[in-house]
A and B are shown apart, each in its own frame.
Chain A
Amino acid sequence: MSRTLSTREEFGRTLVRLGEMSRDVVVLDADLSSSTCTRMFADRFPDRFFNMGISEQDMICTAAGMSLAGKISFACSFAVFVTGRCWEQIRQSVALPGVNVNIVGTHGGITVGKDGASHQALEDIAVMRAIPSMTVIVPADAVETRKAVEAAAWYDGPVYIRLTREKLPVLYPDEKRFRIGVGSLVRDGDDVSLFGIGLMLHQALEAATLLEAEGVSARVVDLATVKPIDEDLVLRCARETGCVVTAEEHSFIGGLGDAVGEVLLRRHPVPMERIGVRDAFGRSGSPQDLLEYFELTPAAIASAARRAIGRKT
């Protein structure tokens, strides 16, 4: 297995670097600064770090006020709280005025593990996608996390970034280019396209290896920006491989699968299969056990790929 790195820690390091670059960068947290790793920024720039206590609604609107006054703000907590507890605050006070508030949710998906359903965000991408003008990014490794956080800071508008609790294998070299709204081809192939985000991109890569052993050539694509989705890349893959599979650590409803499906339905329908959590809450367990329980495994992606290929006409 290749080198793994925590995306949360990389996020914390990136915040410190951004803080060195610009005095306008401010960070807010809701009593989870050691888990979200904003503690690193707090230690380095105590005057620009605001622990708002356990009050996500106040945190989001305070960040909005700061950004209205010209700051580049980061509001951070667990994904389930920072998108769910204050959804309407994000809609009204952040997205409607279109301010540069960057909402970072760590501990997305079921791999939060033993804390169980209350702490496992499986709807966060859906609810953030639904807000007009919101950008949604799910980085797949530490390098992409760094680039996405930097891009979000300089982009003058609201962005939601979802990170995982677990460390992820490092996929990209340091010189990787990241642009909001642009996906990356990670592995080429001709028979099927596997679209993944976050942890599931790694599962898709393993699935491609499984498929290769059977003589199936699978293309793997990182669609880190779920909104706005890279329509051109999705269409090119659909045209060139003739069928697609999406894989996400998120509910079936409103996530990557829907984002890709909307593009295909409108512009180029092809057989499509989806891997995700089927309209259910999470539960306690080890991350690996949960991935298997919810069928978010390379084997599940590979069999979805076979189904998709079988439906090609």
Chain B
Amino acid sequence: MRRLENGKSHRTRDPDRLRELARQVRVSIVKMIHRARSGHTGGSLSCTDILVCLYFAEMRHYPFQPYWPGRDRFVLSKGHAVPALYAVLKHSGYITQRDLDRLRQLGSILQGHPDSRRCPGVEASTGSLGQGLSVAHGMALAIRSLPEQPRVYVVLGDGEIQEGQVWEAAMSAAHYKSDNLCAFVDSNGLQIDGEVQRIMGVEPLADKFRAFGWNALEIDGHRIEEILDALDQARACRGRPTAVVARTVKGKGVPLFENQAKWHGKAPNDDELAQALRALGEPPAEEAP
């Protein structure tokens, strides 16, 4: 793993260090969305802890060699939460703060939704919901016989799994016994129009995946220890893919944003940013010169 500016690798399985990394990633997320004046705040903050555990504790990947064939891969199927992905890519060393500052601007490598052709470390172009699980499964099938035995991780939204294609992919991944595939459902209970259970009920989620032939786990998606434990179980499971239903809070970490559907696709203004940084234990943002 590339040595970062401070000379230290972020690679760790220490829950406290991962929690601190998650805090820094959340700070990056709210700052970049504030600067871009648009982006999806709530869903980025709800999947942050999962992404931090994947990129800094679980996945074998080398930011200085992003196309190494034996790498583990990550697909953000709920592509609108891409600020969280950009933030972990920045903290891993794939991209820089300067890139984060140009989120969603013309000519930026950081598009509003993930674009694998523009940004190193982004494995798949997503944003249209429901497709990422199939893409991840295609990768899993393609690399299953490599000597490094790479694994593929994917994060879906709980609103997203209303798309029928998710269940086509659930069927085929179980059919092909793709045990190198692990899907997280970032179950924050909210979608744009309101509560998931009120718009189009998706529960019981774990039972659905079990019925499709998956190994299904249910965890608190903000408890680092539970995420690491789920990843260990997924790696140990043979003959079927693993689904981790992660119960999360939309907007997690900033009380102002928490559990409110209106913060799905909204950017914080200056005042709200200041409140968010205070909640995250960060000194106020300095004005750009």
A residues sitting closer than 8 Å to B (CB atoms) are 26, 50, 52-53, 55, 57-58, 60-71, 73, 88-89, 92-93, 96-98
Contacts and interface: CB of A to CB of B under 8 A. Distances in A.
Contacts of A60: 134
A92 B169 contact: no
Contact of A97 (B125, B130, B132): B125
Interface string B107-136: 000000001110000011111101110111
Contacts of A98: 117
B117 A58 contact: no
Nearest to B79: A92
Contacts of B124: 64-65, 68, 93, 97
A65 B138 contact: yes
Contacts of B202: none
B128 A58 contact: no
Interface string B162-200: 001100110110011000000000000000000000000
Contacts of A58: 134, 165, 168-169, 171-172
23 contacts: A53-B168, A55-B165, A55-B168, A57-B164, A57-B165, A57-B168, A58-B169, A58-B171, A61-B131, A61-B134, A62-B135, A65-B134, A65-B135, A65-B139, A66-B139, A66-B141, A66-B142, A68-B135, A88-B128, A89-B134, A92-B128, A93-B126, A98-B117
Contacts of B169: 58, 61-62
Nearest to A73: B138
B191 to A, nearest CB: 19
B50 interface: no
Contacts of A26: 142
Given A55-B168, A61-B169, 7 more contacts: A58-B134, A58-B169, A61-B132, A62-B141, A68-B116, A68-B123, A89-B134
B255 to A, nearest CB: 35
A62 B137 contact: yes
Contacts of B95: none
B89 interface: no
A68 B139 contact: yes
Interface of B: 69, 73, 75, 115-117, 123-128, 130-132, 134-143, 164-165, 168-169, 171-172, 175-176
A59 B123 CA distance: 18
B136 A65 contact: yes
A92 B115 contact: no
Contact of A66 (B75, B117, B132, B138): B138
Given A62-B172, A70-B69, A57 B134 contact: yes
Contact of B135 (A55, A71, A93): A93
B142 A65 contact: yes
A93 B165 CA distance: 13
Nearest to B75: A65
Q: Which 5 A-B pairs have the closest CB atoms?
A: A65-B138, A61-B134, A58-B168, A69-B142, A62-B138
A97 to B, nearest CB: 4
A26 B141 CA distance: 10
B188 to A, nearest CB: 23
B138 A69 contact: yes
Nearest to A24: B142
Contacts of B132: 61
B68 to A, nearest CB: 12
Contacts of B130: 57
Given A62-B134, A62-B172, A96-B115, A69 B139 contact: yes
Contacts of A69: 69, 73, 138-139, 142-143
A93 B142 CA distance: 16
B60 to A, nearest CB: 15
A225 B107 CA distance: 32
Contacts of B165: 55, 57-58, 61, 89
B141 A92 contact: no
B175 to A, nearest CB: 8
Contacts of A66: 138-139, 141-142
Among B123, B125, B137, the most chain A Cβ lie within 10 Å of the Cβ of B125
A98 B125 CA distance: 10
A50 B138 CA distance: 10
A46 to B, nearest CB: 13
Nearest to A98: B117
Nearest to A86: B165
